[in-house]
Amino acid sequence: MNEQFRTETDSMGPMQVPAAAYYGAQTARAVENFPISDLRFPRRFIRALGLIKKHAALTNQELGGLKPELAAAIVKAAQEVIDGQWDSQFVVDIFQTGSGTSTNMNANEVIANRADELLGGRRGGKLVHPNDHVNRGQSSNDAIPTAIHLAALEVIERGLIPALSELSQALEKKAAEFHDVLKIGRTHLQDATPIRLGQEFGGYASQVQHGIERLRSAEKNLGELALGGTAVGTGINTDADFARRTIERIASETGLNIREAGNHFEAQGGRDAIVEISGALKTIAVSLIKIANDIRFLGSGPRLGLGELRLPATQPGSSIMPGKVNPVMCEMLLQVCAQVIGSDAAITFGGSFGNFELNVMMPVMAHNLLQSMELMAKGSQVFARRCVAGLEVNREKCKANLELSLSNCTILAPVIGYDKAAKIAKVAYETNRTIRQVAQELSGLDKAKLEELLDPAKQT
């Protein structure tokens, strides 16, 4: 037993800690307290915590609060956390204290114990103290929301916006490729007037681009960091210059547009910026659902559906029906979007728990937000590459559907009147003929004029 564990102490007394662990007593206590799920904070969040600890140590040394040798060991250990070397040591469940204190202490203890080793000491020796040194100038109440914002900004800039941009470009490329394809438009799931397939895809591309712009707009508030507010927003136990200097250092390393919060009471009492960015994600999810659904319906069939698009065949579609191929990439994206919308509900509910000076739902908000961003980034990228890029058009089907549409009578209404045009549509429907055929009998227009009016290209 003595070989498997070591004894560490925290303010509540001694605690058995696995001998090989870099975390300490508070983390081990949290592991016992919260055996809830297999969910842990993701890599992006751990990296963000490492960035905070690294640059806080440099600032504290500069301000005279840390000896150079201690600061150097903390910086090196924090860099290892940033690089992902100790991800396995972040063991606290997402469902824990609402401030994320257990995870903040997890980071403090891992970095302190690793710094002890770097200084020639042993794990648990506290040459570097997790609270006094690694956490100096910070509180979980400002460090955790700062880490959430940093992690989210990095996912947006490095993952989500590039993926959405790739999807938008793929859709724009198809819009150009399909510009000459004339087809029937549809409203209320019923036949409407002619449209170009390229116009439809141009609309899809614009939806995605609008989503990117929504993210850019929401990034402004996400760039405000709570660091410097410590316990309740007053900045107790930290230097007035600590937050500004530390944030400037993080900004220099990451290239992110970040700054100290203008009002620390807002920055810690509420999580409105997270709710806002989640709302933008939900809106994008709604856009992607529309796009994925349209594409799979336009490709339905292949013989007995709309059949105007041919979707890439990526895998067999049935374990019982040979030759069946399903729109699996569309279905994948729909499920991603369903998850994002569900996560937004959890984030919105969490955002409403800003109790006085602190929101107490931060871990679950962080988990849902970062998961949504990663899912949407990967889902959009895969959809662009494995579905949109390989789309083909069935020109014959588009042409045939267009000719059969009863809405072709719409262009006749300004010339012959609404009632007469409606009668032509009714007769065409009842006799199973085209508008062109019936109009030659009932419109009173000569053939040349009728052909001119019924030219679908002019109607688009």
- Domain range list for the chain: 22-136, 142-223+265-395, 405-459
Inter-residue contact 272 to 231 (CB < 8 Å): no
User: Which tokens in the block code for residue 211?
Assistant: 């989503």
Say if 22-136 and 142-223+265-395 have the same CATH topology: no
Token pair of 454, please?
């019924």
CA gap 50, 78 in Å, rounded:
5
Q: How confident is the model at residue 2 (pLDDT cuts 50, 70, 90)?
A: low
- Provide the CATH topology of domain 142-223+265-395: Fumarase C; Chain A, domain 2 (1.20.200)
Name the pairing type of β-strands 224-225 and 259-260: parallel
CA distance 186 to 191: 5
- Right CATH for 405-459 from 1.20.1080.10, 2.120.10.30, 3.30.565.10, 1.10.40.30: 1.10.40.30
Catalytic residue numbers, as ranges = 188, 318
Which residues does 248 contact at the CB level (< 8 Å), separation at least 6?
none
Instruction: Name the token pair of 22.
Output: 């870099």
Q: What is the mean pLDDT of residues 375-404?
A: 97
**Which of 442-451 are b and which e, b meaning 16 or more Cβ less than 10 Å from the residue's Cβ?**
ebebeeeebe
High-pLDDT (> 70) share of the chain, %: 100
SS3 41: coil
Rounded CA-CA distance 268/245 in Å is 19
**CA–CA dist 384, 49 (Å, integer):** 33
Q: What is the pLDDT of residues 17-69, one digit of tens each?
A: 999 999 999 999 999 999 999 999 999 999 999 999 999 999 999 999 999 99
Nearest-angstrom CA–CA distance, 14 and 333: 49
pLDDT interval class at 225 (50, 70, 90): very high
- What is the Cα–Cα distance from 43 to 47, expressed in whole angstroms? 6
Identify the pLDDT of residue 426.
97
Average pLDDT over residues 149-153: 98
Token readout for 270 is 């509420």
DSSP 157: I
> In this model, does residue 365 exceed pLDDT 80?
yes
Place of tokens 């198809």: 174
Alpha-carbon distance of 298 to 144, in angstroms, equals: 46
What is the sign, positive or negative, of the torsion defined by CA atoms of 166, 170, 175, 177?
positive
- The pLDDT confidence band at residue 1, using thresholds 50, 70 and 90, is very low
Superfamily (CATH) of domain 22-136: Fumarase/aspartase (N-terminal domain) (1.10.275.10)
Give the torsion sign (CA, 242, 245, 251, 253). negative
The pTM for the full model equals 0.96
